[in-house]
Amino acid sequence: MKKLLILIIISLTIWTTYPVKAVFAIDTVKGGEQIFEFHCAGCHINGSNIIRRGKNLKLPALKKYGMDSIAAVTEIVTNGKNNMSAYKDKLTVAEIEDVSNYVLEQAAKGWK
């Protein structure tokens, strides 16, 4: 357990000192899922929103707020808005498209 804690601390230190973009050699949906789990799930677990409950990633909310298209989701992931952080400096254009596709696909499935 102590070794694991030391490894985590070293990894976080390296990550915050020398951030790198993850490279995924996998299909878009799987890549989008992994990107979502790493960058988004902390606030949007299962399509919810722990900061603002009504502004979740479920289809009715996405439609209500005009966020039910690739262009809209890509825009907010890229540039952020209000409490939503911008990811243009953390993710590539392709990664943003992958995670945007993943969000819309999961919303259509009801995040199951």
Cα gap 83→85, rounded to integer Å: 6
The answer to whether residue 68 sits within a structural domain is yes
pTM of the model: 0.72
Domain hosting residue 64, numbered range: 26-109
Q: Tens-digit pLDDT profile for the chain (112 aa)?
A: 766 656 566 655 665 555 544 443 345 557 999 999 999 999 999 999 999 988 999 999 999 999 999 999 999 999 999 989 999 999 999 999 999 999 999 999 999 8
Cα gap 69→111, rounded to integer Å: 17
The answer to whether residue 49 sits within a structural domain is yes
* CATH code of 86's domain: 1.10.760.10
The answer to whether residue 45 sits within a structural domain is yes
Give the pLDDT of residue 102.
96
Q: What is the DSSP letter of 46?
A: G
The answer to whether residue 83 sits within a structural domain is yes
Residue from 112, 95, 88, 79 nearest 38 by CA: 95
Residue from 11, 83, 93, 71 nearest 40 by CA: 83
Residue from 78, 85, 83, 86 nearest 52 by CA: 83
Give the pLDDT of residue 26.
41
